[in-house]
Amino acid sequence: LIADMDSTIITSESLDDLAALAGLGDAVTAITKRAMAGEIDFEGALFERVGMLAGKSSRLFDQLIETATPTSGAIDLVHTMRANGAKCYLVSGGFDVITGPVAALCGFHDHHANHMHVRDDKILGTVQTPVLDRNAKAAYLAHYCKQHGIDPVDTATIGDGANDLSMFAHAGTRVAFCAREILEKEANIIIKDKDAKTD
């Protein structure tokens, strides 16, 4: 299982939440929506949004971790997959400062995300490169298939936006979770209700 994090494993977009804590919510959210819909380049949108945070206190990360809320069923999903022998990885275009705690809480085997530069307890407004983008998500899926001897047809991915398209192209089971139309078109399972109950 390769899972996206923002608005998938957790209920919100973590970078938007961080911006809101910093008093920059509306400006950053507008860029996020366009990037998720595939209207603008992910990397450019990431750099622009993080740049707005330059000079803000890195203590905002602690508040972000405290407010992150797992989506209903997310922890059960990972535990069930692991109980049945699956390897589970959280791979996000967000940031490792939040994927680490979320991965530990949910029980993922490991996590991968972008890294925001900090110095002297201040957010610098820059991101480590190369950026973890849609192609990197597909590369991690291929990497773990090779590492564990798993055929791509036996993999599952879950996500909600344009940044998940490449990993969808290589996975056997593709779950679009409350997703943008651009991703739903590539899914073979579509979940539209965050609180859907199934048997």
Active site residues: 4, 6
First to last CA, the chain: 20
- Tell me the angle at which helices 42-51 and 25-36 cross, rounded to the nearest 10 degrees: 170
Asked if 159 contacts 166 with a C-beta cutoff of 8 angstroms, the reply is no
CA distances (Å), 184 to each of 45, 122, 189, in order? 22, 38, 8
Question: Of all helices (H) and strands (E), which one includes residue 146?
Answer: helix 134-148
Asked if 124 contacts 142 with a C-beta cutoff of 8 angstroms, the reply is no
Picking from 18, 190, 161, the residue whose alpha carbon sits closest to that of residue 198 is 190
Rounded Cα–Cα distance for residues 67 and 141 (Å): 29
Q: What is the secondary structure of 35-88 as a DSSP string?
A: HHTTSS-HHHHHHHHHHTTTT-BTTHHHHHHHH--BPTTHHHHHHHHHHTT---
3-state secondary structure of 190: strand
